[in-house]
Structure 1
Amino acid sequence: MSCNAFEVPAGPVRHRSSASPASSLLREPLSGDRLPALKHLALRNSETQDDVCAALAAAPVVARLESLDISMGVGLATLGIGYGIAAPDLVAQIARCQLPFGMDSLADVAVTASYAAETELTYRIELINRERDHLAAALCGHGFVVPVSAANFLFIQCNTDRTVRLTTALRRSGIAVKSYDGTGVRITVVGRSASDAVMRILAGWEP
């Protein structure tokens, strides 16, 4: 191929084996064998960005790159901007449920605006990251089981009964959460006032 620029603004990775997503999905672009003219590589926003960086450290293609972008955060998740990389059978399942190339004119404007507002975007990402860690520490300190998150949300693990009760308590107080029956509750990180509201509601809760 004569491609000289390759960009993957990744999102959540769902894989079926124990192999690292970076080692399996990015093997060909990182080897450079099929991209002899590659000079610019961007691997952004993966949930497993540490794995991506580890794979890059030993990647043959890095020595001949002129630019490498492994940044995190573009602020476009709500508009569904991104790529899906998966096995052919999974891609076929997705194609049956979702139209390809579904990016509309609003999303097009948002992409341009987001990249133009890099300073503001970086600041917002830092705020969300700090608040996520703050809320996670508060929840864990109260006895809740909260897996480590690299996203803008936290997941509280609990059984079916507690999932229902926790979801009900939060929603009755005006806090929107997503419930996963039998596994737990997802809470989007917004800001300190929202985090404080969550902890006030859960103050008397038995995890």
Structure 2
Amino acid sequence: MTSDQLVAVPETALPTLRGAVTGLPSYVPGRRSAGADIAALASNESHYEPLPAAVAAVAHAAGTMNRYPDSAAVELRERIARHLGVTAGEIAVGPGSVGVLQQIITGLCDAGDEVIFAWRSFEAYPILVELAGARPVPLPLDDAEGHDLDAMAAAVTDRTKVILLCTPNNPTGVPIGHERIEAFLQAVPSSVLVVIDEAYVEYADAGSGPDSLALYRRYPNVCILRTFSKAYGLAGLRVGYAIATQAIAEGLHRTALPFAVSALAQKAAIASLDAGEEMAARVAAVKLERARIAAELEAHGWTLQPSQGNFLWIRANEQLLATLVDAFNTAGIMVRAYQGDGVRITVADPASNNRVLRLLATHTA
């Protein structure tokens, strides 16, 4: 066929995205630092460098990056299982806990099925649900910025497949107590998977949230979601995991992208677990800074809910939020603003935290 014989393709014949995709909001990551004088407190990363053992493990593994990783992550799953007192068959891994959550929703939800979660909570929840063709059912937080479990239980229908409980909640930092979750589990059908998302569990004070492993052992419809991105400092390597019954865990393996967790990430995660005491010392320092910041802000008249994450939450109306965001931007401090709700500030090193304190001391709630 010559060039003068080419047939014009009508525009209507061009590929188009699914309606569920074109209507999705984009996930908004925390802004990145643009210079040494910028305090990057918008993403809930660890401000510490990776644990030395993790760096060494990555350096050693770098020489094999021409090979595919173990898609089943057997060594990592066995190490996590020993750490938690479960079996490797009850562990599923993925590219961060959000990657594992996508595997969960994909594995359990058909088109039109429902996923219940609190709002405001982790921003990826509604995106992952809609992407799977399921229906998100967000329910408002209670007056204490926590989950309204009574409303969530009442919202269950015969189409409900998954319920997401974020504890401590992102972005408010409020945990869900053990007794409250146990009562909730007794109220919802055992056919509904209840995912306890504990991305920040290492930062939580003992007893502030649930004993999720005890709940999992008693209620087989519980799934626990955790990550190495926060306290372990491996956000850039993307590795998280779920604890679930072997049947659910096997399904998560089936819905995972092959080789999704790199060999470097697997080795770093194992090394980080082996360096648990050093990680715990870093977490303790963050918790001390969290308490210090909260106490000083409250002394200046700010009202805060006690946070159990590595961040603090300030509820703010649109006017106050605009004022704060402008002030933080001017001061070179990156924080995470949530339109209509408030601002989340990651706890970092004392110098960065002091910059936050100095700024907020000049403003009023």
**Given the two structures, how large is their TM-score scaled by the length of structure 2?**
0.38
Q: Is the 8 A contact 2:91 2:241 kept in 1?
A: no
Q: Deviations over 1:112-136 (max 9, x none)?
A: 2311222221110000011011111
User: Could you say which residue in structure 1 is the equivalent of 2:287?
Assistant: 129
| Structure 2 counterpart SS, 1:129 | helix
Secondary structure of 1:182 counterpart: coil
Q: Counterpart of 1:203?
A: 361
Mapping 1:48-63, distance limit 5 Å? 50-53=208-211, 56=214
Q: How does 1:144-155 map to 2 (within 5 A)?
A: 144-155=302-313
Distance 1:138 1:74 in 2: 24
Partner residue of 2:185?
A: 24
Structure 1 match to 2:349: 191
Shift of residue 190, structure 1, vs aligned partner: 0.5
- Cα displacement (A) at 1:147: 1.6
Task: Classify the secondary structure of the residue corresponding to 1:170.
Answer: helix
Query: Residues 313 and 345 of structure 2 are in contact (CA less than 8 Å); yes or no, is this contact kept in structure 1?
Result: yes
1:113 matched to 2:271? The reply is yes
Whole-angstrom distance in 1 between the partners of 2:356 and 2:300: 12
1:44-89, CA deviations, whole angstroms, 9 ceiling, x for partnerless residues? 96469645338839x669xxxxxxxxxxx7514624432468xxxx
Alignment counterpart, residue 240 of structure 2, candidates 63, 78, 82: 82
Query: Matched residues in 2 for 1:128 and 1:175: separation?
Result: 18
For the residue of structure 1 that corresponds to 2:333, the secondary structure is coil
Shift of 1:103: 2.3
Distance between the aligned counterparts of 1:165 and 1:101, measured in 2?
A: 45
Distance 1:199 1:102, change over 3 A: same
Contact 1:76 1:111 in 2 (8 A): no
**1:21 Cα deviation after fit:** 4.2
Counterpart in the other structure of 2:71: none
- Alpha-carbon distance between aligned partners in 2 of 1:188 and 1:121, rounded to the nearest angstrom: 18
How many corresponding residue pairs? 168
Unpaired stretches in structure 1, ≥5 consecutive residues: 29-42, 62-72, 86-97
Q: Distance in 1 between matches of 2:209 and 2:92?
A: 15
Structure 2 residues not aligned, in runs of 5+:
1-80, 102-116, 119-138, 140-147, 154-179, 191-197, 220-229, 244-255
Q: Deviations over 1:85-109 (max 9, x none)?
A: 8xxxxxxxxxxxx968732334223
**Secondary structure of 1:202 counterpart:** helix
Give percent identity, aligned residues only. 27
- Residue in structure 2 matched with residue 35 of structure 1 by the alignment: none
Deviation at 1:167, TM superposition (A): 1.4
- Closer, same or farther in 2 for the Cα pair 1:162/1:188, shift >3 Å? same
The SS at the match of 1:163 is: helix
Show the counterpart of 1:176: 334
Aligned partner of 2:276: which letter?
A: E
Cα distance in structure 2, aligned partners of 1:8 and 1:132: 32
Structure 1's 55 and 110: CA in aligned 2 closer, same or farther, altered over 3 A?
closer
Q: SS of the residue aligned with 2:334?
A: coil
Letter in 2 for 1:135: I
Aligned positions of 1:8-19 closer than 5 A: 14=117, 18=149
Q: 1:113 to 1:185 in 2, by over 3 A?
A: same
Structure number, greater radius of gyration: 2
User: Distance between the aligned counterparts of 2:321 and 2:312, measured in 1?
Assistant: 14
Question: In the superposition, relative to structure 1, how do residues 186 and 101 fare at CA in structure 2: closer, same or farther (>3 Å)?
Answer: farther
**What is the distance in 1 between the residues matched to 2:329 and 2:340?**
18
RCO comparison, higher one (Cα < 8 Å, 6+):
2
